[in-house]
Amino acid sequence: MALLKLEDLHVHFPIRSGVFKRIVGHVKAVNGVSLELKSGETYGLVGESGSGKTTTGRAVIGLNEITSGKVFYAGKNLIEKKRTKELRREIQMIFQDPYSSLNPKKRVLDIIAEPLRNFESLTKQEEQKRVQQLLSQVGLSQKSIAKYPHEFSGGQRQRIGIARAIALQPKLIIADEPVSALDVSVQAQVLNFMKDLQKELNLTYLLISHDLGIIRHMCDRIGIMYKGRLVEEATAKEIYENPQHIYTKRLISSIPDIDPKNRGKMMALREEVKRDFDEKYNQYFDENGLAYDLKAIAADHFAALPGEGQ
């Protein structure tokens, strides 16, 4: 059974205008997304800014209101049921910016203990012990407990954010651009660490990123989002080596190649893919500019290809 399942998820934001601020339309940030996360896997959600990837993640954790559709967590519909305490502790989030997501006026102890205080009643000693244990789990020294966020580097801050996220032993972590504010060497550290932690705690990740290198490195399966809909979903290898949708092709071909000898080849490829994209755009999207529904084209490979709809 899937740990997390989204069925036809819609998140629409109203656009208001005029003297009385009446609703004149909607921004369909997420416009019919269905996907499944298996327990213990890393699912990558990729797309440009404005594609709806972040909104999808925030909707799952309850930070954006869901317009319609279903979100099942371990078989339970999160929309019909009020999110129980149990559910809220099992899904946690890691935020993008380690510089602004930690309250600068709080000590590390208070930051990490905050979720514990909300969900568990521990004595001061128990709480301190748990926080110290979490600190050693994320590889920070015990002395950190009394320090403030500004005393740490970016990578260390992101570890504090991760310690806070795993304090309640969650099963699902939604990581929204967890390393995009960090330098490459620090980024490598945090990514390795997230992988280790996943093995250790059997975590499931929903990883949201625009960096296709990171997605390739971390993910088992990948969903490509464009204008609020999924255009392709497959294993990481399939997406990178055998993309089917014109948007996926465009995205993959845009990644700068690390080998300067391929420069000419890449430029020609990009040129060709772009021409293809412009020519076939109307074929791949319906009259409202929306991607078609995903269709299976192989085991574990789905693409929103044109053709008779279901």
Partner 1 sequence: MWTFTFRRVLIMIPQILLLSIVIFFLAKMMPGDALTGLIDPNIGPEAIEAQREKLGLNDPWHVQYWNWITNLFQGDLGQSFQHKLPVTEIINQRLWNTFWLSVLTLILTYLIAIPLGLISGRYNDTISDRIITGYTYIGFAAPVFIFALLMLFIFGFQLGWFPTGGSVTPGTVPGTWSFFLSKVYHMLLPALSMALITTVSTVQYLRSEIIDTKQKDFVLLARSKGVSETRIYRKHIFRNSLLPIAAFFGYEISGLIGGSIFIENIFSYPGIGQLFLSSLMQRDTSVVTALVLLFGIASILGTLISDLILSIVDPRIRMK
Partner 2 sequence: MTDPLLHIQRLRTSFKIKDDYYAAVDDVSLEVNKNEIVAIVGESGCGKSALAASITGLHNKERTKMDGRISFKNKDIANASINQLNQLRGSEIGMIFQDPLTALNPLMIIGEQIEETLMLHQKMSRQERKKRTVELLKEVGIPRAEQIYYQYPHQLSGGMRQRVVIAIAIANNPSLLIADEPTTALDVTIQSQILDLIRKLKDEMHAGIILITHDLGVVAEMADRVAVMYAGQIVEIAPVIELFDNPKHPYTRSLLQSVPSAFDKQERLYVIQGVVPPLPNLPREGCRFKSRIPWIPEEVHEKEPKMHEVGPGHFVRCTCYEDFHFIGEDGGMNHGAS
Binding residues for partner 1, rule: CB under 8 A, are 18-21
Q: In sequence order, which residues have a C-beta less than 8 Å from that of residue 11 and are 6 or more positions away?
A: 28, 29, 30, 52, 55, 56, 59, 64, 65, 66, 67
Nearer to partner 1, 17 or 118 (CB): 17
At residue 97, what are phi and psi to the nearest 5 degrees? -100, 105
Asked if 269 touches partner 2 (CB under 8 A), the answer is: no
Choose which of 1, 19, 258, 299 interacts with partner 2 (CB under 8 A): 258
Exposure of 27 in the CB half-sphere (CA atoms within 13 A): 9
The smaller minimum CB distance to partner 1, of residues 18 and 309, is found at: 18
Question: Both tokens of residue 230?
Answer: 């999924």
Six token digits for residue 44 = 């990558």
Amino acid letter, 141: S
Chain centre to alpha carbon of residue 63: 13
Under rule CB under 8 A, residue 261 binds partner 2: yes
Partner interacting with residue 19 (select from partner 1, partner 2, none; CB below 5-8 Å by kind): partner 1
Chain position carrying tokens 């109203």:
14
Q: According to the binding rule CB under 8 A, does residue 254 interact with partner 2?
A: yes
CB of 250 to partner 1, least distance (A): 30
Beta carbon nearer to partner 2, 113 or 135: 135
User: Residue 19 Cβ, how far from partner 1 at the closest point, in Å?
Assistant: 5
Q: Which among partner 2, partner 1, none contacts residue 84 (Cβ within 5 to 8 A by kind)?
A: none
Q: Which is nearer to partner 2, 62 or 139 (CB)?
A: 139
Q: From the list partner 1, partner 2, none, pick the one residue 87 interacts with, judged by a Cβ distance below 5 to 8 Å according to partner type.
A: none
CA distance 61 to 72: 12
If one counts every other C-beta atom within 10 angstroms of the C-beta of residue 145, the result is: 18
Of the candidates 64, 81, 76, the residue with the CA atom closest to the CA atom of residue 30: 64
**The CA-based dihedral angle spanning residues 82, 86, 91, 94, taken in that order and rounded to the nearest 10 degrees:** 110
CB of 118 to partner 2, least distance (A): 32
d(CA 238, CA 22): 46
Choose from partner 2, partner 1, none: what does 18 bind? Cβ within 5-8 Å by kind: partner 1
Q: Which of partner 2, partner 1, none interacts with 188 (beta carbon under 5 to 8 A by kind)?
A: partner 2
Neighbour count for residue 193 (Cβ, 10 Å): 17
Among 187, 204, 244, 248, binds partner 2 (CB under 8 A): 187
Residues that bind partner 2 (CB under 8 A): 48-49, 153, 155, 183-189, 191-192, 195, 210-218, 236-237, 240, 250-252, 254-261, 263, 266, 270
